[in-house]
Chain A
Amino acid sequence: MIQPVVCEKKQIILVGMSFYGDPFDSRAGWDDENEIGHLWVRFNKFLYAHKKEKIAAYPPFYEVHIYTDETDEKGKFEIFVGAEADPAQIEKLPIELCVKVLPETQYAIFTFKGEEITSDWEKLLHDWLTTSEYESPYSYNFQYYDERFKGMDRIAESVLDVYVPVAKTA
């Protein structure tokens, strides 16, 4: 079974955009033609149009999956894509953007390479959590896209880290 690295992370303040619902409603697949792809396109366009304003520090980019009351029943998620914010700029952010504060916590970091990125790694995360000495105190995880991720058209050369907040089981 895949073994993550567990480490402590300070609070992370992100600025970005979000979507709520079944993200694959329009079409599934690892391409732009689903709501997550649309969200990335929308966010990147916005950053490009406002590149002089230093809204966020990037790369890395973050894709946060937040589980809500409706996730289990209806398959609806909140998906947030963003980058690290400059805390001094938060009060001046344009209305199109929103802020997410990821708490200071321990994370289990899973690293996926090449085709593993498009596999069912969420199941690996779940299986690891159920057999490890950890549990997840928060209902989210996030994908961390830095310079090692080369794009969906170069997935074979790409690396992706997935962070799962964890705490030792009592």
Chain B
Amino acid sequence: MRTQIEVIHRAIEFIESQLQFRITVAQIAEHSGYSLFYFIRTFNKVTHQTPYDYLITRRLSEALRELLETDRRITDIAMDFCFDTPESFSRAFKRLFGVLPSSCRKGKLPESVFSFPPKTMPDLQFIDRSDFIPPEIVECEGRAICGLSTEFDTDDGAGYLDQEERTQKQVAACLKGRKVKILAVRSYSDKRWQHGYLFKGFIVEKEEEIIPPLSVQQIPSGQYAKMVCVASDRQAALNYILYTWLLKTGYKSQHRFLVEETRGGTDSNIFSSIRIPVVFL
């Protein structure tokens, strides 16, 4: 017998195959083998999103991709993704992305806009963890951190982890035995929040002298969405904040960077506290 997560994952795969067809939530429920009522209960429990919201969010994300990658008319793209009129498409599009479809044509994608990828099995397993704690909003003071920078790419398998570890060791070597907390700042250069620059370092006071090869990076003050997770779940936690939690709360991510602090000893109980800057709109 399939677990609830497996049933909902199959339902998500079914939704993905039907984005350009006029399916109803009742049809998705029927495909899953659950009654409609039990299905919407379970879908919400497993994904923290309603099935209808998920369907619309995914249709709009694929429509955004079409807008960016093709020269097709907005009206045709709207119809392809089951919107009855260009007006209803534009309204839904603006509600999700904060901009009109016409401002997302080739080469004109606004900085704040990113699409919502399909939910994956690791995303669902992360939400299902018994120690799952939802994000919270925290106010943070501005800080300067002193350390070293490297590139990272989470698509690069274990390679990027080796690189990160080397950077951590280099920073530790510069500390010459000083016991301080090491922070990581990941600045993402892509819309999928997958690769960019990693800066590892420790908090310094403004007047402190910085000796090469170390350099200083500023973490701005402001509101952050913060989430605590097992360190190996960092990407799933980031996905949760970006693609589920922000949608429900009215907050928007303000800049594409993340601040991470880790604590704990052995591999299985290293916890990460991650935070990304947000603004309430």
| Chain B contacts with A in 8-29, Cβ cutoff 8 A | 24-27, 29
Closest A-chain residue to B42, C-beta based?
Answer: A28
Residue-wise interface mask of B (21-62) relative to A, using a CB-CB cutoff of 8 A (1 in contact, 0 not): 000111101000111111111111110101110000000000
The number of inter-chain residue pairs (CB within 8 angstroms) is: 65
Q: Nearest chain A CB to B54's CB is how many angstroms away? A: 10
Among listed A42-50, A66-74, A153-161, interface-contacting one: A66-74
Total residues of chain B contacting the partner, CB 8 A: 23
Q: Nearest chain A CB to B124's CB is how many angstroms away? A: 13
- A-B CB proximity, top 10 nearest: A28-B45, A122-B35, A24-B44, A72-B26, A75-B25, A120-B38, A28-B44, A123-B35, A75-B40, A74-B52
| Chain A contacts with B in 1-54, Cβ cutoff 8 A | 22-25, 27-29, 34
Q: Given A22-B40, A65-B37, decide whether A73 and B48 contact each other with a Cβ distance below 8 A.
A: no
Complex alpha-carbon distance, A22 and B56, angstroms: 15
Q: Nearest chain A CB to B164's CB is how many angstroms away? A: 35
Residues on B with C-beta less than 8 A from A123 are 33-35, 38
Q: What are 29 residue pairs bridging A and B, where the CB atoms are less than 8 Å apart in the complex?
A: A22-B44, A22-B52, A24-B41, A24-B44, A25-B44, A27-B45, A27-B48, A28-B41, A28-B43, A28-B46, A29-B45, A34-B41, A71-B36, A72-B25, A72-B26, A72-B27, A73-B24, A75-B25, A75-B26, A75-B36, A75-B39, A75-B51, A76-B52, A77-B37, A120-B34, A122-B35, A123-B35, A123-B38, A126-B35
Residues on A with C-beta less than 8 A from B48 are 27
Complex alpha-carbon distance, A65 and B41, angstroms: 14
Q: Interface centre among B27, B39, B40, by most A CB within 10 Å?
A: B40
- Give 19 A-B pairs besides A71-B26, A76-B52 with Cβ atoms closer than 8 angstroms: A22-B44, A24-B41, A27-B48, A28-B44, A34-B44, A72-B24, A72-B26, A72-B36, A73-B25, A73-B52, A75-B29, A75-B36, A75-B39, A75-B50, A77-B37, A123-B33, A123-B34, A123-B38, A126-B35
Interface, chain A (partner B; CB < 8 A): 22-25, 27-29, 34, 65, 71-77, 120, 122-123, 125-126
Complex alpha-carbon distance, A26 and B29, angstroms: 19
Residues on B with C-beta less than 8 A from A24 are 40-41, 43-45, 50
Q: Nearest chain B CB to A8's CB is how many angstroms away? A: 26
Complex alpha-carbon distance, A127 and B35, angstroms: 10
Complex alpha-carbon distance, A42 and B33, angstroms: 33
Residues on B with C-beta less than 8 A from A65 are 37
Q: Nearest chain B CB to A48's CB is how many angstroms away? A: 28
Q: Nearest chain A CB to B69's CB is how many angstroms away? A: 29
Closest A-chain residue to B55, C-beta based?
Answer: A74
Q: Which of A27, A29, A73 contacts B26 (CB 8 A)?
A: A73
| Chain B contacts with A in 178-200, Cβ cutoff 8 A | none
A122 and B37 contact, CB distance less than 8 A:
yes
